[in-house]
Structure 1
Amino acid sequence: MSTAAPLPEGLIADRPAASDRAYVTLVTNRDYAMGALALARSIRHTGADADIVVLHTGGVEQSSLAPLSDLGCRLVRTELLDTSDDFNARHARGRLHADAPFTKGRKPAFHSPLDNFCKLRLWQLIDYQSCVFIDADALVLRNIDKLFDYPEFSAAPNVYETLRDFHRMNSGVFVAKPSLETFAAMLEMLDQPDVFWRRTDQTFLQTFFPDWHGLPVTMNMLQYVWFNLPDLWDWKQISVLHYQYEKPWEADHPKADRLRPLIDFWHAFHEGKAIPDIASLANPSGSDDG
Protein backbone atom coordinates (compact mmCIF):
# COMPACT_ATOMS: atom_id res chain seq x y z
CA MET A 1 0.00 0.00 0.00
CA SER A 2 1.26 3.44 -0.85
CA THR A 3 2.03 5.68 2.14
CA ALA A 4 2.36 8.87 0.08
CA ALA A 5 0.40 12.05 0.76
CA PRO A 6 -3.27 12.17 -0.26
CA LEU A 7 -4.23 13.55 -3.65
CA PRO A 8 -4.48 17.34 -3.96
CA GLU A 9 -7.80 19.15 -4.04
CA GLY A 10 -9.58 18.69 -7.35
CA LEU A 11 -8.74 15.00 -7.81
CA ILE A 12 -11.26 12.50 -6.43
CA ALA A 13 -10.34 8.80 -6.36
CA ASP A 14 -12.84 5.99 -5.96
CA ARG A 15 -10.36 3.90 -3.93
CA PRO A 16 -6.96 4.32 -2.28
CA ALA A 17 -3.71 3.52 -4.04
CA ALA A 18 -2.61 -0.10 -3.63
CA SER A 19 0.95 0.42 -4.89
CA ASP A 20 3.52 3.17 -5.23
CA ARG A 21 3.55 2.62 -9.01
CA ALA A 22 0.76 3.07 -11.53
CA TYR A 23 -0.10 2.73 -15.18
CA VAL A 24 -2.13 5.85 -15.98
CA THR A 25 -4.46 6.60 -18.87
CA LEU A 26 -6.87 9.42 -19.67
CA VAL A 27 -10.56 9.11 -20.57
CA THR A 28 -12.52 12.20 -21.62
CA ASN A 29 -15.47 10.62 -23.45
CA ARG A 30 -17.28 7.35 -24.09
CA ASP A 31 -15.06 6.37 -27.01
CA TYR A 32 -11.85 6.54 -25.02
CA ALA A 33 -13.54 4.63 -22.19
CA MET A 34 -13.88 1.77 -24.69
CA GLY A 35 -10.20 2.09 -25.48
CA ALA A 36 -9.25 2.18 -21.81
CA LEU A 37 -11.10 -1.08 -21.18
CA ALA A 38 -9.10 -2.89 -23.85
CA LEU A 39 -5.90 -1.26 -22.55
CA ALA A 40 -6.60 -2.29 -18.95
CA ARG A 41 -7.34 -5.86 -20.00
CA SER A 42 -4.09 -5.96 -21.96
CA ILE A 43 -2.11 -4.70 -18.95
CA ARG A 44 -3.72 -7.33 -16.70
CA HIS A 45 -2.93 -9.97 -19.33
CA THR A 46 0.81 -9.27 -18.92
CA GLY A 47 0.72 -9.90 -15.14
CA ALA A 48 1.73 -6.31 -14.40
CA ASP A 49 2.42 -5.51 -10.76
CA ALA A 50 1.08 -1.95 -10.41
CA ASP A 51 -2.14 0.01 -10.10
CA ILE A 52 -4.09 0.95 -13.21
CA VAL A 53 -5.35 4.52 -12.87
CA VAL A 54 -7.98 6.02 -15.15
CA LEU A 55 -8.05 9.80 -15.05
CA HIS A 56 -11.51 10.83 -16.22
CA THR A 57 -13.35 14.08 -16.73
CA GLY A 58 -17.00 15.04 -16.44
CA GLY A 59 -17.52 14.16 -20.09
CA VAL A 60 -17.65 10.45 -19.28
CA GLU A 61 -20.86 8.75 -18.14
CA GLN A 62 -20.74 6.45 -15.12
CA SER A 63 -22.03 3.59 -17.26
CA SER A 64 -18.90 3.86 -19.43
CA LEU A 65 -16.62 3.83 -16.38
CA ALA A 66 -18.31 0.92 -14.57
CA PRO A 67 -16.52 -1.85 -16.55
CA LEU A 68 -13.18 -0.24 -15.70
CA SER A 69 -14.03 -0.15 -12.01
CA ASP A 70 -15.18 -3.78 -12.17
CA LEU A 71 -11.78 -4.67 -13.63
CA GLY A 72 -10.08 -3.17 -10.58
CA CYS A 73 -8.96 0.11 -12.11
CA ARG A 74 -8.63 3.10 -9.79
CA LEU A 75 -10.86 5.85 -11.14
CA VAL A 76 -9.67 9.40 -10.49
CA ARG A 77 -12.11 12.18 -11.35
CA THR A 78 -10.73 15.51 -12.50
CA GLU A 79 -11.45 18.30 -14.97
CA LEU A 80 -9.59 19.93 -17.82
CA LEU A 81 -6.82 22.33 -16.91
CA ASP A 82 -7.85 25.84 -15.88
CA THR A 83 -6.32 27.57 -18.89
CA SER A 84 -7.17 31.05 -20.18
CA ASP A 85 -9.88 31.77 -22.71
CA ASP A 86 -7.27 32.87 -25.26
CA PHE A 87 -5.32 29.64 -24.79
CA ASN A 88 -8.50 27.60 -25.19
CA ALA A 89 -9.45 29.47 -28.36
CA ARG A 90 -6.01 28.88 -29.93
CA HIS A 91 -6.18 25.16 -29.15
CA ALA A 92 -9.84 24.50 -29.97
CA ARG A 93 -10.38 21.73 -32.50
CA GLY A 94 -11.30 23.88 -35.50
CA ARG A 95 -8.64 26.52 -34.90
CA LEU A 96 -5.79 24.14 -34.15
CA HIS A 97 -6.50 21.79 -37.05
CA ALA A 98 -6.62 24.81 -39.37
CA ASP A 99 -3.32 26.26 -38.09
CA ALA A 100 -1.58 22.87 -37.78
CA PRO A 101 -3.45 20.50 -40.13
CA PHE A 102 -3.01 16.74 -39.92
CA THR A 103 -2.00 15.59 -43.39
CA LYS A 104 -0.92 12.01 -42.68
CA GLY A 105 -4.01 10.64 -40.94
CA ARG A 106 -7.51 11.47 -39.81
CA LYS A 107 -8.38 12.57 -36.30
CA PRO A 108 -11.76 11.10 -35.29
CA ALA A 109 -14.70 13.41 -34.67
CA PHE A 110 -14.74 12.73 -30.93
CA HIS A 111 -11.18 14.05 -30.55
CA SER A 112 -10.78 17.42 -28.78
CA PRO A 113 -7.24 18.86 -28.70
CA LEU A 114 -7.81 20.58 -25.35
CA ASP A 115 -8.43 17.18 -23.77
CA ASN A 116 -4.82 16.23 -24.45
CA PHE A 117 -3.42 18.72 -21.95
CA CYS A 118 -5.25 16.91 -19.15
CA LYS A 119 -2.42 14.35 -19.29
CA LEU A 120 -0.45 16.80 -17.17
CA ARG A 121 -2.73 15.89 -14.26
CA LEU A 122 -0.54 12.80 -13.89
CA TRP A 123 1.99 14.95 -12.02
CA GLN A 124 -0.70 15.56 -9.38
CA LEU A 125 -0.91 11.84 -8.56
CA ILE A 126 1.49 12.29 -5.66
CA ASP A 127 0.50 9.08 -3.90
CA TYR A 128 2.65 7.32 -6.53
CA GLN A 129 6.43 7.43 -6.86
CA SER A 130 6.54 6.45 -10.51
CA CYS A 131 3.95 6.37 -13.30
CA VAL A 132 3.83 5.06 -16.84
CA PHE A 133 1.32 6.95 -18.92
CA ILE A 134 -0.29 5.07 -21.83
CA ASP A 135 -2.84 6.56 -24.21
CA ALA A 136 -6.24 4.85 -24.07
CA ASP A 137 -5.93 3.93 -27.77
CA ALA A 138 -3.09 1.50 -27.07
CA LEU A 139 -2.51 -2.12 -26.00
CA VAL A 140 0.30 -3.55 -23.86
CA LEU A 141 1.52 -6.80 -25.39
CA ARG A 142 4.18 -7.89 -22.90
CA ASN A 143 5.15 -6.93 -19.36
CA ILE A 144 6.76 -3.48 -19.20
CA ASP A 145 6.99 -3.05 -15.41
CA LYS A 146 10.70 -2.31 -15.85
CA LEU A 147 9.74 1.15 -17.14
CA PHE A 148 8.89 2.27 -13.60
CA ASP A 149 12.63 2.33 -12.91
CA TYR A 150 13.39 4.48 -15.94
CA PRO A 151 14.18 8.18 -15.49
CA GLU A 152 11.83 11.08 -15.95
CA PHE A 153 11.19 11.92 -18.71
CA SER A 154 11.30 8.79 -20.91
CA ALA A 155 9.35 8.42 -24.16
CA ALA A 156 9.63 6.75 -27.55
CA PRO A 157 10.14 8.57 -30.86
CA ASN A 158 7.23 9.49 -33.15
CA VAL A 159 8.18 7.07 -35.92
CA TYR A 160 5.39 5.94 -38.24
CA GLU A 161 6.32 7.21 -41.69
CA THR A 162 10.09 7.64 -41.90
CA LEU A 163 13.11 6.85 -39.76
CA ARG A 164 14.05 10.52 -39.94
CA ASP A 165 11.42 11.15 -37.23
CA PHE A 166 13.54 9.64 -34.44
CA HIS A 167 14.18 13.16 -33.12
CA ARG A 168 10.47 13.74 -32.46
CA MET A 169 8.78 12.42 -29.33
CA ASN A 170 5.41 10.67 -29.14
CA SER A 171 3.56 11.24 -25.87
CA GLY A 172 1.39 8.13 -26.10
CA VAL A 173 3.73 6.30 -23.71
CA PHE A 174 5.98 8.01 -21.19
CA VAL A 175 7.56 7.59 -17.76
CA ALA A 176 7.07 10.35 -15.18
CA LYS A 177 7.49 11.04 -11.47
CA PRO A 178 4.49 12.83 -9.90
CA SER A 179 5.38 16.15 -8.25
CA LEU A 180 3.29 19.19 -7.43
CA GLU A 181 6.34 21.38 -8.01
CA THR A 182 6.74 19.98 -11.53
CA PHE A 183 3.01 20.40 -12.17
CA ALA A 184 3.13 24.06 -11.13
CA ALA A 185 6.14 24.69 -13.38
CA MET A 186 4.27 23.07 -16.26
CA LEU A 187 1.24 25.29 -15.83
CA GLU A 188 3.45 28.37 -15.72
CA MET A 189 5.08 27.46 -19.04
CA LEU A 190 1.92 26.13 -20.69
CA ASP A 191 -0.37 29.15 -20.76
CA GLN A 192 1.84 32.03 -21.85
CA PRO A 193 0.46 34.89 -23.98
CA ASP A 194 0.19 33.87 -27.65
CA VAL A 195 1.84 30.47 -27.06
CA PHE A 196 0.73 27.78 -29.54
CA TRP A 197 1.50 24.11 -28.94
CA ARG A 198 1.25 22.75 -32.47
CA ARG A 199 0.80 19.11 -31.43
CA THR A 200 -0.74 19.98 -28.03
CA ASP A 201 0.69 17.95 -25.14
CA GLN A 202 3.26 16.27 -27.37
CA THR A 203 4.91 19.52 -28.39
CA PHE A 204 4.64 20.88 -24.86
CA LEU A 205 6.23 17.86 -23.18
CA GLN A 206 9.13 17.74 -25.63
CA THR A 207 9.73 21.44 -24.92
CA PHE A 208 9.41 21.06 -21.15
CA PHE A 209 11.73 18.00 -21.15
CA PRO A 210 14.24 18.87 -23.92
CA ASP A 211 16.66 16.16 -22.74
CA TRP A 212 14.02 13.40 -22.77
CA HIS A 213 15.31 9.85 -22.51
CA GLY A 214 14.56 7.84 -25.64
CA LEU A 215 12.73 4.53 -25.38
CA PRO A 216 12.86 2.03 -28.26
CA VAL A 217 10.07 2.26 -30.82
CA THR A 218 8.85 -1.15 -29.61
CA MET A 219 7.65 0.57 -26.41
CA ASN A 220 5.24 2.67 -28.50
CA MET A 221 4.80 1.04 -31.90
CA LEU A 222 2.50 3.28 -33.95
CA GLN A 223 0.00 1.43 -36.10
CA TYR A 224 1.00 3.15 -39.38
CA VAL A 225 4.35 1.34 -39.18
CA TRP A 226 2.34 -1.71 -40.26
CA PHE A 227 2.07 -0.39 -43.85
CA ASN A 228 4.62 2.46 -43.97
CA LEU A 229 7.67 0.73 -42.47
CA PRO A 230 6.83 -3.01 -42.45
CA ASP A 231 10.47 -4.03 -42.01
CA LEU A 232 10.38 -2.34 -38.60
CA TRP A 233 7.43 -4.46 -37.43
CA ASP A 234 8.15 -7.63 -35.43
CA TRP A 235 5.39 -9.02 -33.19
CA LYS A 236 8.03 -10.81 -31.09
CA GLN A 237 9.56 -7.47 -30.07
CA ILE A 238 6.60 -5.11 -29.71
CA SER A 239 5.69 -4.19 -26.13
CA VAL A 240 3.06 -1.47 -26.74
CA LEU A 241 0.89 -1.10 -29.84
CA HIS A 242 -0.53 2.41 -30.29
CA TYR A 243 -3.48 3.07 -32.61
CA GLN A 244 -2.63 6.65 -33.57
CA TYR A 245 -5.07 8.63 -35.75
CA GLU A 246 -7.96 6.32 -36.75
CA LYS A 247 -9.22 4.19 -33.85
CA PRO A 248 -9.88 0.44 -33.95
CA TRP A 249 -13.40 0.83 -32.56
CA GLU A 250 -14.46 3.14 -35.44
CA ALA A 251 -16.60 1.30 -37.98
CA ASP A 252 -15.07 1.24 -41.47
CA HIS A 253 -12.60 4.08 -41.00
CA PRO A 254 -10.53 5.14 -44.04
CA LYS A 255 -7.61 2.80 -43.35
CA ALA A 256 -9.60 -0.11 -41.90
CA ASP A 257 -8.82 -2.51 -44.76
CA ARG A 258 -5.08 -1.90 -44.49
CA LEU A 259 -5.11 -2.28 -40.70
CA ARG A 260 -7.60 -5.16 -40.38
CA PRO A 261 -5.26 -7.57 -38.49
CA LEU A 262 -4.51 -4.86 -35.88
CA ILE A 263 -8.20 -3.94 -35.55
CA ASP A 264 -9.21 -7.57 -35.02
CA PHE A 265 -6.46 -7.90 -32.42
CA TRP A 266 -7.80 -4.88 -30.48
CA HIS A 267 -11.34 -6.27 -30.51
CA ALA A 268 -10.14 -9.51 -28.94
CA PHE A 269 -8.98 -7.54 -25.89
CA HIS A 270 -11.99 -5.23 -25.76
CA GLU A 271 -14.50 -8.07 -25.98
CA GLY A 272 -12.61 -10.36 -23.59
CA LYS A 273 -11.98 -13.01 -26.21
CA ALA A 274 -9.10 -15.48 -26.26
CA ILE A 275 -5.85 -13.65 -27.03
CA PRO A 276 -3.72 -15.29 -29.72
CA ASP A 277 -0.09 -16.15 -29.13
CA ILE A 278 1.48 -12.85 -30.08
CA ALA A 279 4.80 -14.41 -31.13
CA SER A 280 2.94 -16.57 -33.67
CA LEU A 281 1.21 -13.66 -35.43
CA ALA A 282 2.22 -12.95 -39.02
CA ASN A 283 4.22 -9.81 -39.61
CA PRO A 284 3.16 -7.46 -42.42
CA SER A 285 4.22 -8.13 -45.95
CA GLY A 286 7.74 -6.84 -46.49
CA SER A 287 9.02 -7.46 -42.95
CA ASP A 288 11.86 -9.86 -42.28
CA ASP A 289 9.57 -12.53 -40.80
CA GLY A 290 6.44 -11.78 -42.86
Structure 2
Amino acid sequence: MSTQAPLPAGLSADKPAASHRAYVTLVTNADYAMGALALARSIQLSGSTADIVVLHTGGVDDAALKPLLDLGCRLVRTELLDTSDAFNERHARGRLHADAPFTKGRKPAFHSPLDNFCKLRLWQLTDYQACVFIDADALVLKNIDKLFDYPEFSAAPNVYETLRDFHRMNSGVFVAKPALATFAAMLEMLDQPDVFWRRTDQTFLETFFTDWHGLPVTMNLLQYVWFNLPELWDWKQIGVLHYQYEKPWEADHPKSDRLRPLIDLWHAYFTGEAIPDVAALANPAGLNDK
Protein backbone atom coordinates (compact mmCIF):
# COMPACT_ATOMS: atom_id res chain seq x y z
CA MET A 1 0.00 0.00 0.00
CA SER A 2 1.24 3.47 -0.84
CA THR A 3 2.33 5.87 1.88
CA GLN A 4 -0.52 8.01 3.16
CA ALA A 5 -0.20 11.77 2.74
CA PRO A 6 -2.66 14.67 2.78
CA LEU A 7 -4.50 15.10 -0.49
CA PRO A 8 -3.63 18.16 -2.61
CA ALA A 9 -5.70 21.34 -2.48
CA GLY A 10 -9.14 20.93 -3.96
CA LEU A 11 -9.71 17.44 -2.53
CA SER A 12 -10.70 16.12 0.90
CA ALA A 13 -11.32 12.46 1.77
CA ASP A 14 -13.44 10.82 4.45
CA LYS A 15 -10.79 8.15 5.08
CA PRO A 16 -7.31 7.07 3.94
CA ALA A 17 -6.62 4.86 0.96
CA ALA A 18 -6.73 1.15 1.76
CA SER A 19 -5.07 -0.09 -1.44
CA HIS A 20 -2.54 1.11 -3.97
CA ARG A 21 -5.18 0.77 -6.72
CA ALA A 22 -8.61 2.37 -7.05
CA TYR A 23 -11.67 2.45 -9.22
CA VAL A 24 -12.73 6.09 -9.40
CA THR A 25 -16.05 7.64 -10.39
CA LEU A 26 -17.52 11.13 -10.31
CA VAL A 27 -20.84 12.15 -8.75
CA THR A 28 -22.20 15.65 -9.34
CA ASN A 29 -25.84 15.30 -8.19
CA ALA A 30 -28.28 12.88 -6.58
CA ASP A 31 -29.06 11.15 -9.89
CA TYR A 32 -25.45 10.20 -10.46
CA ALA A 33 -25.19 9.13 -6.82
CA MET A 34 -27.77 6.45 -7.69
CA GLY A 35 -25.66 5.46 -10.66
CA ALA A 36 -22.54 5.28 -8.51
CA LEU A 37 -24.30 2.98 -6.05
CA ALA A 38 -25.12 0.46 -8.78
CA LEU A 39 -21.58 0.80 -10.16
CA ALA A 40 -19.93 0.31 -6.76
CA ARG A 41 -22.03 -2.75 -6.03
CA SER A 42 -21.13 -4.22 -9.42
CA ILE A 43 -17.41 -3.68 -8.75
CA GLN A 44 -17.63 -5.37 -5.38
CA LEU A 45 -19.53 -8.33 -6.86
CA SER A 46 -16.77 -8.73 -9.47
CA GLY A 47 -14.44 -9.79 -6.64
CA SER A 48 -12.11 -6.79 -6.83
CA THR A 49 -10.27 -5.71 -3.68
CA ALA A 50 -9.28 -2.29 -5.06
CA ASP A 51 -10.61 0.84 -3.41
CA ILE A 52 -13.76 2.39 -4.81
CA VAL A 53 -13.36 6.18 -4.78
CA VAL A 54 -16.30 8.50 -5.33
CA LEU A 55 -15.28 12.03 -6.27
CA HIS A 56 -18.24 14.25 -5.39
CA THR A 57 -18.93 17.92 -5.94
CA GLY A 58 -20.92 20.36 -3.85
CA GLY A 59 -24.02 19.45 -5.85
CA VAL A 60 -24.46 16.24 -3.85
CA ASP A 61 -25.88 16.28 -0.33
CA ASP A 62 -25.04 13.88 2.50
CA ALA A 63 -28.29 11.94 2.15
CA ALA A 64 -27.48 11.02 -1.46
CA LEU A 65 -23.95 9.98 -0.49
CA LYS A 66 -24.87 7.87 2.56
CA PRO A 67 -25.65 4.65 0.62
CA LEU A 68 -22.18 4.88 -0.95
CA LEU A 69 -20.63 5.40 2.46
CA ASP A 70 -22.55 2.39 3.81
CA LEU A 71 -21.25 0.28 0.93
CA GLY A 72 -17.67 1.09 1.95
CA CYS A 73 -16.72 3.56 -0.76
CA ARG A 74 -14.05 6.17 -0.10
CA LEU A 75 -15.70 9.57 -0.52
CA VAL A 76 -13.49 12.38 -1.81
CA ARG A 77 -15.02 15.82 -2.05
CA THR A 78 -13.75 17.77 -5.03
CA GLU A 79 -13.92 21.45 -5.78
CA LEU A 80 -14.49 22.62 -9.32
CA LEU A 81 -11.31 23.39 -11.23
CA ASP A 82 -10.05 26.95 -10.94
CA THR A 83 -10.83 27.91 -14.53
CA SER A 84 -11.41 31.40 -15.89
CA ASP A 85 -14.83 33.03 -16.18
CA ALA A 86 -14.52 33.01 -19.96
CA PHE A 87 -13.76 29.27 -19.97
CA ASN A 88 -16.72 28.61 -17.68
CA GLU A 89 -19.03 30.62 -19.90
CA ARG A 90 -17.96 28.74 -23.04
CA HIS A 91 -18.52 25.38 -21.35
CA ALA A 92 -21.75 26.10 -19.47
CA ARG A 93 -24.60 23.74 -20.31
CA GLY A 94 -26.67 26.05 -22.50
CA ARG A 95 -23.73 27.53 -24.38
CA LEU A 96 -21.94 24.21 -24.98
CA HIS A 97 -25.03 22.34 -26.14
CA ALA A 98 -25.87 25.18 -28.52
CA ASP A 99 -22.35 25.26 -30.01
CA ALA A 100 -21.89 21.46 -30.04
CA PRO A 101 -25.35 19.90 -30.04
CA PHE A 102 -25.85 16.20 -29.42
CA THR A 103 -27.66 14.71 -32.41
CA LYS A 104 -27.43 10.96 -31.74
CA GLY A 105 -29.13 10.73 -28.35
CA ARG A 106 -30.74 12.83 -25.64
CA LYS A 107 -28.70 14.26 -22.79
CA PRO A 108 -30.81 14.35 -19.59
CA ALA A 109 -31.57 17.70 -18.00
CA PHE A 110 -29.27 16.92 -15.08
CA HIS A 111 -26.22 16.76 -17.36
CA SER A 112 -23.70 19.43 -16.25
CA PRO A 113 -20.89 19.72 -18.82
CA LEU A 114 -18.63 21.98 -16.76
CA ASP A 115 -18.57 19.45 -13.90
CA ASN A 116 -17.06 16.85 -16.25
CA PHE A 117 -13.65 18.49 -15.95
CA CYS A 118 -13.51 17.42 -12.29
CA LYS A 119 -12.45 14.02 -13.67
CA LEU A 120 -9.01 15.55 -14.08
CA ARG A 121 -8.62 15.68 -10.30
CA LEU A 122 -8.04 11.93 -10.46
CA TRP A 123 -4.42 12.80 -11.25
CA GLN A 124 -4.23 14.42 -7.80
CA LEU A 125 -5.00 11.10 -6.09
CA THR A 126 -1.32 10.35 -5.61
CA ASP A 127 -1.98 7.94 -2.75
CA TYR A 128 -2.75 5.45 -5.55
CA GLN A 129 -0.29 3.99 -8.03
CA ALA A 130 -2.95 3.23 -10.64
CA CYS A 131 -6.59 4.16 -11.15
CA VAL A 132 -9.35 3.02 -13.46
CA PHE A 133 -11.93 5.73 -13.96
CA ILE A 134 -15.50 4.61 -14.74
CA ASP A 135 -18.43 6.95 -15.33
CA ALA A 136 -21.18 6.60 -12.74
CA ASP A 137 -23.68 5.61 -15.45
CA ALA A 138 -21.97 2.25 -15.96
CA LEU A 139 -21.79 -1.29 -14.57
CA VAL A 140 -18.85 -3.66 -14.20
CA LEU A 141 -20.06 -7.10 -15.31
CA LYS A 142 -16.95 -9.16 -14.58
CA ASN A 143 -13.59 -8.69 -12.89
CA ILE A 144 -11.51 -6.17 -14.83
CA ASP A 145 -8.63 -5.69 -12.36
CA LYS A 146 -6.19 -6.49 -15.17
CA LEU A 147 -6.77 -2.93 -16.40
CA PHE A 148 -4.66 -1.57 -13.53
CA ASP A 149 -1.62 -3.00 -15.31
CA TYR A 150 -2.41 -1.25 -18.58
CA PRO A 151 -0.37 1.84 -19.50
CA GLU A 152 -1.44 5.43 -19.15
CA PHE A 153 -3.44 6.54 -21.02
CA SER A 154 -5.69 3.64 -22.03
CA ALA A 155 -9.31 4.03 -23.12
CA ALA A 156 -11.88 2.28 -25.30
CA PRO A 157 -13.22 3.59 -28.60
CA ASN A 158 -16.42 5.63 -28.81
CA VAL A 159 -18.34 3.04 -30.83
CA TYR A 160 -22.12 2.99 -30.75
CA GLU A 161 -23.36 3.73 -34.27
CA THR A 162 -20.81 2.64 -36.85
CA LEU A 163 -17.49 0.80 -36.96
CA ARG A 164 -15.95 3.97 -38.38
CA ASP A 165 -16.04 5.34 -34.81
CA PHE A 166 -13.25 3.03 -33.66
CA HIS A 167 -10.73 5.85 -34.12
CA ARG A 168 -12.46 8.05 -31.52
CA MET A 169 -12.04 7.71 -27.76
CA ASN A 170 -14.72 7.52 -25.07
CA SER A 171 -13.66 8.84 -21.66
CA GLY A 172 -16.23 6.83 -19.71
CA VAL A 173 -13.55 4.26 -18.85
CA PHE A 174 -9.83 4.96 -18.77
CA VAL A 175 -6.61 3.89 -17.05
CA ALA A 176 -4.48 6.57 -15.41
CA LYS A 177 -1.42 6.94 -13.19
CA PRO A 178 -1.93 9.83 -10.74
CA ALA A 179 0.85 12.43 -10.77
CA LEU A 180 0.82 16.08 -9.78
CA ALA A 181 3.07 16.99 -12.69
CA THR A 182 0.53 15.54 -15.12
CA PHE A 183 -2.30 17.42 -13.41
CA ALA A 184 -0.36 20.71 -13.65
CA ALA A 185 0.32 20.15 -17.35
CA MET A 186 -3.36 19.46 -17.90
CA LEU A 187 -4.42 22.70 -16.25
CA GLU A 188 -1.92 24.63 -18.35
CA MET A 189 -3.40 23.22 -21.57
CA LEU A 190 -7.03 23.25 -20.48
CA ASP A 191 -7.78 26.94 -20.02
CA GLN A 192 -6.13 28.69 -22.95
CA PRO A 193 -7.70 31.85 -24.46
CA ASP A 194 -10.72 30.99 -26.64
CA VAL A 195 -10.18 27.23 -26.31
CA PHE A 196 -13.38 25.19 -26.67
CA TRP A 197 -13.50 21.49 -25.76
CA ARG A 198 -16.43 20.31 -27.85
CA ARG A 199 -17.12 17.18 -25.79
CA THR A 200 -15.61 18.57 -22.56
CA ASP A 201 -13.29 16.10 -20.81
CA GLN A 202 -13.49 13.58 -23.65
CA THR A 203 -12.18 15.98 -26.27
CA PHE A 204 -9.56 17.32 -23.86
CA LEU A 205 -8.20 13.91 -22.86
CA GLU A 206 -8.06 12.75 -26.47
CA THR A 207 -6.03 15.87 -27.27
CA PHE A 208 -3.78 15.74 -24.21
CA PHE A 209 -2.96 12.04 -24.67
CA THR A 210 -2.43 12.01 -28.42
CA ASP A 211 -0.99 8.48 -28.37
CA TRP A 212 -3.71 6.95 -26.17
CA HIS A 213 -3.74 3.16 -25.97
CA GLY A 214 -6.86 1.34 -27.11
CA LEU A 215 -8.82 -0.90 -24.75
CA PRO A 216 -11.14 -3.54 -26.18
CA VAL A 217 -14.57 -2.15 -26.98
CA THR A 218 -15.98 -4.61 -24.43
CA MET A 219 -14.25 -2.63 -21.65
CA ASN A 220 -16.62 0.28 -22.32
CA LEU A 221 -19.51 -1.10 -24.33
CA LEU A 222 -21.97 1.71 -25.00
CA GLN A 223 -25.64 0.85 -24.66
CA TYR A 224 -26.62 1.92 -28.19
CA VAL A 225 -24.54 -0.98 -29.50
CA TRP A 226 -27.48 -3.13 -28.36
CA PHE A 227 -29.63 -1.95 -31.29
CA ASN A 228 -27.16 -0.26 -33.65
CA LEU A 229 -24.36 -2.87 -33.81
CA PRO A 230 -25.80 -6.05 -32.27
CA GLU A 231 -23.08 -8.14 -33.90
CA LEU A 232 -20.63 -6.65 -31.39
CA TRP A 233 -22.74 -7.67 -28.38
CA ASP A 234 -21.78 -10.74 -26.36
CA TRP A 235 -22.71 -10.77 -22.68
CA LYS A 236 -19.90 -13.23 -21.90
CA GLN A 237 -17.28 -10.73 -23.08
CA ILE A 238 -18.54 -7.46 -21.60
CA GLY A 239 -16.38 -5.99 -18.86
CA VAL A 240 -18.11 -2.60 -18.55
CA LEU A 241 -21.57 -1.65 -19.79
CA HIS A 242 -21.94 2.12 -20.20
CA TYR A 243 -25.36 3.77 -20.34
CA GLN A 244 -24.46 6.74 -22.52
CA TYR A 245 -27.10 9.37 -23.32
CA GLU A 246 -30.41 8.32 -21.68
CA LYS A 247 -29.97 6.96 -18.15
CA PRO A 248 -31.46 3.73 -16.76
CA TRP A 249 -32.87 5.47 -13.69
CA GLU A 250 -34.95 7.83 -15.84
CA ALA A 251 -38.62 6.84 -16.00
CA ASP A 252 -39.83 6.04 -19.53
CA HIS A 253 -37.07 7.79 -21.44
CA PRO A 254 -37.36 7.92 -25.27
CA LYS A 255 -35.45 4.68 -25.87
CA SER A 256 -36.60 2.71 -22.82
CA ASP A 257 -38.56 0.16 -24.83
CA ARG A 258 -35.56 -0.62 -27.05
CA LEU A 259 -33.20 -0.87 -24.06
CA ARG A 260 -35.48 -2.65 -21.57
CA PRO A 261 -33.16 -5.66 -20.88
CA LEU A 262 -30.28 -3.28 -20.08
CA ILE A 263 -32.45 -1.07 -17.89
CA ASP A 264 -33.73 -4.07 -15.94
CA LEU A 265 -30.15 -5.22 -15.38
CA TRP A 266 -29.16 -1.82 -13.98
CA HIS A 267 -32.08 -1.84 -11.54
CA ALA A 268 -31.05 -5.28 -10.29
CA TYR A 269 -27.57 -3.96 -9.43
CA PHE A 270 -29.02 -0.77 -7.96
CA THR A 271 -31.31 -2.62 -5.56
CA GLY A 272 -28.97 -5.58 -5.05
CA GLU A 273 -31.89 -7.92 -5.70
CA ALA A 274 -32.29 -10.68 -8.30
CA ILE A 275 -28.98 -9.92 -10.01
CA PRO A 276 -28.83 -12.41 -12.90
CA ASP A 277 -25.98 -14.49 -14.24
CA VAL A 278 -24.92 -11.97 -16.87
CA ALA A 279 -23.14 -14.54 -19.02
CA ALA A 280 -26.41 -16.43 -19.38
CA LEU A 281 -28.45 -13.44 -20.58
CA ALA A 282 -29.84 -13.43 -24.11
CA ASN A 283 -27.93 -11.41 -26.67
CA PRO A 284 -29.80 -9.08 -29.03
CA ALA A 285 -32.48 -10.80 -31.11
CA GLY A 286 -31.08 -13.25 -33.61
CA LEU A 287 -27.64 -13.47 -31.97
CA ASN A 288 -28.35 -15.92 -29.16
CA ASP A 289 -26.29 -18.68 -30.77
CA LYS A 290 -22.96 -17.05 -29.78
* TM-score normalised by L of structure 2: 0.98
Q: What is the aligned-residue identity percentage?
A: 86
Give the alignment's Cα RMSD to 1 decimal.
0.9
What aligned pairs does 1:178-217 form with structure 2 within 5 A after superposition? Answer: 178-217=178-217
Does the CA contact (< 8 Å) of 1:156 and 1:215 recur in 2?
A: yes
Report the secondary structure of 1:54's partner residue: strand
Question: What residue is the counterpart of 2:120 in the other structure?
Answer: 120
What aligned pairs does 1:14-163 form with structure 2 within 5 A after superposition? Answer: 14-163=14-163
Report the secondary structure of 1:236's partner residue: helix
Does the CA contact (< 8 Å) of 2:159 and 2:166 recur in 1?
A: yes
Question: What residue is the counterpart of 1:220 in the other structure?
Answer: 220
The CA deviation string for residues 117-147 of structure 1, in whole angstroms up to 9 with x for no partner, is: 1100100001000000000000000000010
Does the CA contact (< 8 Å) of 2:141 and 2:240 recur in 1?
A: yes
Cα offset, 1:286, TM superposition: 3.9
Task: Name the CA distance, whole Å, in 2 between partners of 1:286 and 1:62.
Answer: 46
Gaps of 5+ in 1: none
Cα offset, 1:5, TM superposition: 3.3
Please tell me the residue identity of whatever aligns with 1:165: D
Does the CA contact (< 8 Å) of 1:37 and 1:67 recur in 2?
A: yes
Cα offset, 1:2, TM superposition: 2.9
Please tell me the residue identity of whatever aligns with 1:145: D
The CA deviation string for residues 226-281 of structure 1, in whole angstroms up to 9 with x for no partner, is: 00000110001000000000000000000000000000000000011121111110
The CA deviation string for residues 40-94 of structure 1, in whole angstroms up to 9 with x for no partner, is: 0000000102000000011101000000011000000111111111101111111
Task: Name the CA distance, whole Å, in 1 between partners of 2:89 and 2:176.
Answer: 28
Task: Name the CA distance, whole Å, in 2 between partners of 1:288 and 1:214.
Answer: 28
The CA deviation string for residues 7-65 of structure 1, in whole angstroms up to 9 with x for no partner, is: 11221100110001000000010000000000000000001020000000111010000
Task: Name the CA distance, whole Å, in 2 between partners of 1:275 and 1:31.
Answer: 21
Report the secondary structure of 1:118's partner residue: helix
Question: What residue is the counterpart of 1:240 in the other structure?
Answer: 240
* TM-score normalised by L of structure 1: 0.98
The CA deviation string for residues 176-208 of structure 1, in whole angstroms up to 9 with x for no partner, is: 000110000000000000000001000000000
Task: Name the CA distance, whole Å, in 2 between partners of 1:185 and 1:49.
Answer: 31
Please tell me the residue identity of whatever aligns with 2:161: E
Does the CA contact (< 8 Å) of 2:20 and 2:130 recur in 1?
A: yes
Task: Name the CA distance, whole Å, in 1 between partners of 2:39 and 2:32.
Answer: 10
Task: Name the CA distance, whole Å, in 1 between partners of 2:167 and 2:276.
Answer: 34
Does the CA contact (< 8 Å) of 2:140 and 2:241 recur in 1?
A: yes
